[in-house]
Amino acid sequence: MNGLNPKRSAAFLLAFAAAGLASGTLLGLTLKAAQDLSGHRVYRLLLNADYVPVLKQFRLTEVTEFVIHLFISAALCLILGWIWQKRADRRMPSTASMIGVTALIGGVVGLLLYPTTLLSAGGTPPIDSLPAWAWWLAAHLLYGAASGLLLRAVLLAQRPRRRM
């Protein structure tokens, strides 16, 4: 965030986090709809935290679990936004590259997280459920693409305006 004053820099960091809240909400709603339509418990897997040592001590509501998911999404987009910003300081990445690379990152995150179903106390899809894997991966690719598009919008908004 070269050349931005601290208040403006903080505003863009908040905008990156807000992009994560928006794309995280999209991911949650997509997986909830997929679960409702297909019966594969992919939304339950998204919210599942019963394998996290500190969290498993508490009986968490769906809303609390969703807020935890949104916090993680906001943190991820804050980090990705900062990385994209550093790249944009040299040369602004194209919309296609931001969407494509960030979608790929979303897909990798999805691939890495699905096996946590093995750590669950129950209620999540089986590890060998190909339809659940497909829903999960498709939703995470969509999440990544949406994150890339929103982060691109933030980067474009921070560019200095040209005077006519």
Per-residue pLDDT reduced to its tens digit, 14-59:
999 999 999 999 999 999 999 999 999 999 999 998 887 887 778 8
Q: Is 52 left (phi over 0), alpha (psi -120 to 50) or beta?
A: beta
- Our count of domains for the chain comes to 1
Distance CA 68, CA 51 (A): 14
Is a pLDDT exceeding 70 seen at residue 162?
Answer: no
Q: Which domain holds residue 76?
A: 6-158
Note the maximum CA span of the chain: 62
Q: In the structure encoding, which two tokens stand for residue 6, read together?
A: 């601290």
Domain assignment present for residue 33? The answer is yes
Domain assignment present for residue 50? The answer is yes
Q: What is the DSSP letter of 163?
A: P
Domain assignment present for residue 87? The answer is yes
Domain assignment present for residue 1? The answer is no
Contact 139, 103 (CB under 8 A): no
Nearest alpha-carbon partner for 50 in 131, 136, 139, 118: 118
What is the per-residue pLDDT for 161?
Answer: 65
Is a pLDDT exceeding 90 seen at residue 8?
Answer: no
Domain assignment present for residue 45? The answer is yes
Domain assignment present for residue 164? The answer is no
Report the SS3 class of residue 49.
coil
Q: Mean per-residue pLDDT for 138-154?
A: 98
Is a pLDDT exceeding 90 seen at residue 12?
Answer: no
* Overall pTM > 0.85: yes
**Residue 112 exposed, middle or buried by CB count within 10 Å (0-12, 13-18, 19+):** exposed
